[in-house]
Amino acid sequence: MSEKKFPALDAFRIPAAVLVIAIHTSPLASVSDLGDFWFTRVLARVAVPFFFMITGRFLGQTPRRFWQRTLLLYAGAALLYLPLNWYAGTFSALDWMRKFLLEGTFYHLWYFPAVLLGVPLVCLLRKLGTIPAFCAAGLLYLIGLGGDSYYGFLADFPAVHAFYKGVFTLFGYTRNGLFFAPLFLLLGMFCPKLNRKTGAVGFVVSLTAMSVEALWLHGLGVQRHDSMYLLLPVCMLFLFGTLLAWNRGQSRPMRTCSMWVYIIHPWCIVAVRGAAKLCGVQVLLVENSLVHFSAVALLSFAGAVCMMRLKPRSIPCGARAWREIDGKALVHNVCALEEQAGSAVMAVVKADGYGHGAVLVARTLQKAGVTGWAVACLSEGIALRRAGIRGRILILGYTDPAQAPLLARWRLTQTVVDEAHAAALSASGWPVRAHLALDTGMHRLGVPAQDLPAIRRIFHMSGLRIEGVFSHLCAADGTTTPEQMYTEQQTNLFWKTIQQLRREGIDPGEVHLQASYGILNQPAISCSWVRAGIALYGVYSGTFAGKNPVPLCPVLTLRARVATVRCLQPGDVAGYGLAFEAERKTILATVTIGYADGIPRILPQRGGRVLVRGEYAPMVGRLCMDQMLVDVTGIPGVCTGDVVTLIGKDGAKEIRAEELACRCGTITNEILSGLSPRLGLCLKKRGRHKIRAKSL
């Protein structure tokens, strides 16, 4: 595998899983006690902190979702080991529940309650700030250290002994989510990339020093357990920083495989020992520790592969018809729009991100630093939160005040559409975050901007937190003098109202006025946000690109495949209603996309065309629900499976979304937002496609 594509973080999960197996099988025990101690109680101790750190690295994206998925996985693993709990004769319902909540129901499952406790604790600590969070986590680690490797030094002090005795009534060890997990989760979040040579040398030196520390403590016999060392965080910082420097990309199979190895390896230990006893080869398979370790590791990986194969197979994104989303273009557009507007972009991702996939778009932009989102309705806002999207999510449309509990539960910001709506939200009994819409002349939603008494009353309503004020310019895309004058009139009215509120000591909060064409046509205005909708996706509503030359890049490419190719003779007909009749020898390709996928049914009759093998080919006949006919007579070699481009580039030629909209007499907003969710969705990144498959 080339360096450019090497997923170092995910790749290290495999040796980390092997080290966990080593901890529980002592591979060198029959060779050297001291050697086995160093291998399993020193070197192998980097495995679990690594898993905590890689969790912390990506925790900021979806903490709630991660916690829920981990809890579900832990519950399944706990049930998997119930038979062994019963067989060991140590099972009691109350004790099992205590272990489930605090220390793991089987010896290797302690990681799960530790991370489940550590994640919310770290989220709370981060609110204190980075340095205080590290100080608190470091202090907790030191306390845990006193109950682990350094226990013998402190156990003679009565007060300290009593403290740890109380801790051990709840936790079997201090390697748990209260003392161990927070520090490594934070280290994973903030660990910097290190120079590879510096990182490698630092790791070797710190591991050597930690080995000296561990052997010294072992020689003194002061350890109650040996999971925590003073130099372990330093060692992990060098190891993780070096892996970050090498990391390029991700590997889901490696992640999944290491997870299954971690979960099932104790069952494999039982299986190997049981098989050895049945076959009378205990001397070979059990007493020979190296062979025992190897047999358990091989069986664990074999079991992991089997579990991975049991997962339902998925449909590749490009199997039929699909959308390719260029993440680089998306981020470029945000930067270009922010530079033009002089304000932060609130990404409008309503209507499934204008057909681009709202969650995919939001996750891509969240990584790039976007923190504001606009949706049309409550369900769209909840979908973003479920996907782990943070920041301000503004619902631009009406929400029934009876749904105020959901607004509060998902931390959504609701638009106040009129005074009665505000009063109903206020009376709901739930704390509702809101932005007040001002009607400056569109007469769609909002309180009339001239009605200052109503606006004052809304700001003073209890239970309603007005955190922003905005309006919408209904003719900002216009080029005529009346349209431009009306836009100026709306703008002046909006700012007049905002200034009056400020004079009266009412803080309007976040102020935003411009949408896409406000950015493209109007001068930059000092606002909290600009709401970028269609422009965010690199296209224009019509043929007019606006007065301000913003260098936007189309984000979406729409493709399908050739299903079959047929040769028609002059006079042959094809499609519904005999709509196409061949006037010459014609090669027709059936393409796997239709009006149920969002292609306007009228498009073939309006001169619609596609790109096949880098050449234009006209649509013919009537568009079907799931297929279309394309004349590929002039394009040699077209065959089943060829890629057909309906929007986007193929070679040197391009079909833009604006072309489809113009042919159909509509705007690109309608064309793109009408694309069907059944279309596959792929994230194109750095020249490669990151497939978002649909499960069968």
The residues, ordered by sequence, that sit 6+ positions from 395 with a Cβ below 8 Å of its Cβ are 375, 376, 377, 378, 380, 381, 407, 412, 413, 414, 415
For residue 428, the SS3 value is: coil
Task: Quickly count: other Cβ atoms within 10 Å of residue 158's Cβ.
Answer: 8
- Bridge partner residues of 620 (DSSP): 629
Widest distance between CA atoms in the chain: 102
In the block, residue with structure tokens 């009408």: 674
For 416: left if phi > 0, alpha if psi spans -120 to 50, otherwise beta; the answer is beta
| Tokens of residue 458, six digits | 């809304």
Catalytic residue among 173, 350, 354, 486: 350
Question: Can you tell me the distance from the alpha carbon of 583 to that of 574, in angstroms, rounded to the nearest whole number?
Answer: 12
Q: What ranges in 60-129 are assigned the alpha helix state H?
A: 63-80, 82-88, 93-102, 111-126
Active site residue 540: no
Question: Can you tell me the distance from the alpha carbon of 428 to that of 430, in angstroms, rounded to the nearest whole number?
Answer: 5
Active site residue 150: no
254 is in an annotated binding site: no
**Closest to 435 in 3D by CA, of 401, 403, 408, 469:** 469
619 is in an annotated binding site: no
Task: Quickly count: other Cβ atoms within 10 Å of residue 197's Cβ.
Answer: 10
Separation of CA 17 from chain center: 25
Q: Which uninterrupted H or E stretch holds 441? A: none
* Sign, Cα dihedral of 508, 509, 515, 520: positive
Task: Quickly count: other Cβ atoms within 10 Å of residue 11's Cβ.
Answer: 17
Three-state DSSP string of 485-530: HHHHHHHHHHHHHHHHHHHCCCCCCEEECCCHHHHHHCCCCCCCEE
370 neighbors 347 (Cβ within 8 angstroms): yes
417 neighbors 400 (Cβ within 8 angstroms): no
Orientation of helix 232-246 relative to helix 196-220, angle to 10°: 150
Catalytic residue among 576, 585, 616, 653: 576
Pairing of strands 372-375, 392-395: parallel
**Closest to 304 in 3D by CA, of 249, 369, 255, 376:** 255
**Closest to 112 in 3D by CA, of 140, 141, 80:** 80
Catalytic center residues: 350, 576
Annotated binding site: 444, 625
Annotated binding site for substrate: which residue ranges?
444, 625
